[in-house]
Amino acid sequence: MHPGQVRANGDIITSQAVGRCVDEQRHMLCTQWKVRTMRTPENVIYTDNGYGPVSKLAGTACTIGIQSFISNASFDNGTCKLELDWPLQSALNHKDIVPAKEGGKRKILVALGGGTFDTPSWQACSDNLDAFADALVSFVKTNDFDGIDIDWEDTGALTKSGGYDAVAFLSGLTRKLRAGLPAPQYIITHAPQPPYFDASFHGGTYMQVMKQVGTLIDYLNIQYYNNGDFVGTTGSEQAEKVAGTTGSPAFATSIVGLVAQGLPVEKLLVGKPTTPHNAGTGFLPVDEFCSDVVAPLVAKYGANFGGVMGWQLAQSPSSADLEYDWISTVADALSGNAE
């Protein structure tokens, strides 16, 4: 990255949703999805800046905070050592995780991966999958996180020989994490880029992953930025390519397009940079984003829409200024109150 719906006393209630599908592909994807239901779509915010740890989300409308990053892993005689980036280590040192939950107001996850987690590192994790998954499960539980976000961005493994099978790895990792982090106590999310859903882009990695382990994944924080051909630049372009609420048929990797391919809308979140400093391309001012992308999706799907993800709380990787207005504006839009 970067570089509907009922809560009872803060606990998430899950239900099984079995869809009657119209063709074989939709049947494979829609049968027995585990769907989260909550009072409104999720308002997810990542943090990867020492000035803006997840504890700074207290008092906001954010429903899931994600503290980044577990940035690498190494292995020695079957033992996995996780490497943490400085913002995550700082958040742990300052005991920011539990206060950020505000007594169950929001869930706090830890993010794994990101742009610096390279192909050799992912290959090593694939080669040592049991040890890797065990270390992640232990880390989540020891540090009082409510789950984990898998931010796999190893496009290099798709465009050249990566030495491992990405679909098998991501599916196997998800299965092992869910075995150690059972629902509904723990949340597992992934943060794919939109090309990973395109069959013409090396087979559509994440469509294959969702066919195999979609029932085990709670949400997809889809990175609709830094992928110009799949995102667009203007509000009208992003209404088509990100929301998919304009144009016919819907753009294949848009939210509407992914639903048409069989993915449950309850699991799909639109990921956006909160400022132009937090991504290379794809930024829209929050009012324009809410009116052109979020509001049409809320109008179409209501509380069933998965929600919105923002990268990140701070205005830039080094800024001390935090994007509280972005969170509140998105919350209004998710509640159907976009201006």
Q: For the chain, how big is the Rg over CA atoms in Å?
A: 18
**Whole-angstrom Cα distance, residue 168 to residue 154?**
14
- Tell me the pLDDT band of 116, cut-offs 50, 70 and 90: confident
Q: Has residue 2 been placed in a domain?
A: no
Token readout for 221 is 């924080």
Residue 82 DSSP SS3: strand
- Name the domain count of the chain: 1
Helices (H), the chain: 24-30, 86-93, 97-100, 119-127, 129-142, 156-159, 166-180, 205-213, 228-231, 235-238, 255-260, 286-289, 295-301, 324-334
> How confident is the prediction for the chain on average, in pLDDT?
90
Q: How many CB atoms are closer than 10 A to CB 96?
A: 22
Contact between 255 and 243 (Cβ < 8 Å): yes
Query: Which stretch of DSSP H or E encloses residue 67?
Result: strand 64-76
pLDDT digits (tens, 9 = 90+) for 47-97: 999 999 999 999 999 999 999 999 999 999 999 999 999 999 999 999 999
Contact between 263 and 305 (Cβ < 8 Å): no
Q: CA–CA distance from 49 to each of 52, 64, 96, 148, 270 (Å)?
A: 5, 17, 13, 18, 22
pLDDT of residue 339: 62
Out of 2-11, 18-27, 86-95, 225-234, least confident range: 2-11
pLDDT of residue 28: 44
CATH number, position 230:
3.20.20.80
- Residue among 4, 3, 1 nearest 268 (CA): 4
> What is the arithmetic mean of pLDDT over 113-128?
94
Q: Has residue 292 been placed in a domain?
A: yes
61: left (phi over 0), alpha (psi -120 to 50) or beta: alpha
Q: CA–CA distance from 145 to each of 33, 91, 274, 319 (Å)?
A: 24, 12, 24, 25
Answer yes or no: is pLDDT of 14 > 70. no
Answer yes or no: is pLDDT of 21 > 70. no
Q: Has residue 232 been placed in a domain?
A: yes
- Tell me the pLDDT band of 207, cut-offs 50, 70 and 90: very high
Q: Has residue 339 been placed in a domain?
A: no
Out of 3-7, 199-203, 217-221, least confident range: 3-7
Q: Has residue 125 been placed in a domain?
A: yes
Answer yes or no: is pLDDT of 24 > 80. no
Q: 327: which DSSP letter?
A: H
Q: Has residue 27 been placed in a domain?
A: yes
pLDDT digits (tens, 9 = 90+) for 126-175: 999 999 999 999 999 999 999 999 999 999 888 766 689 999 999 999 99
Answer yes or no: is pLDDT of 29 > 70. no
pLDDT of residue 115: 85
How far the first Cα of the chain sits from its last, in Å, is 29
**Which domain covers residue 220, as residue numbers?**
7-334
Q: CA–CA distance from 228 to each of 151, 279, 309 (Å)?
A: 19, 11, 18
CB hemisphere CA count around 33 (13 angstroms): 26
Instruction: Estimate the crossing angle of helix 166-180 against helix 129-142, to 10 degrees.
Output: 40
DSSP characters over 167-197: HHHHHHHHHHHHHHS-TTTSEEEE---GGGG
pTM comes to 0.89
pLDDT of residue 158: 87
Q: How many CB atoms are closer than 10 A to CB 47?
A: 29
Instruction: Please report where in the chains the tokens 């324009």 appear, as a residue.
Output: 288
> What is the four-CA torsion angle of 102, 105, 109, 114, rounded to 10 degrees?
-100
pLDDT digits (tens, 9 = 90+) for 246-305: 999 999 999 999 999 999 999 999 999 999 999 999 999 999 999 999 999 999 999 999
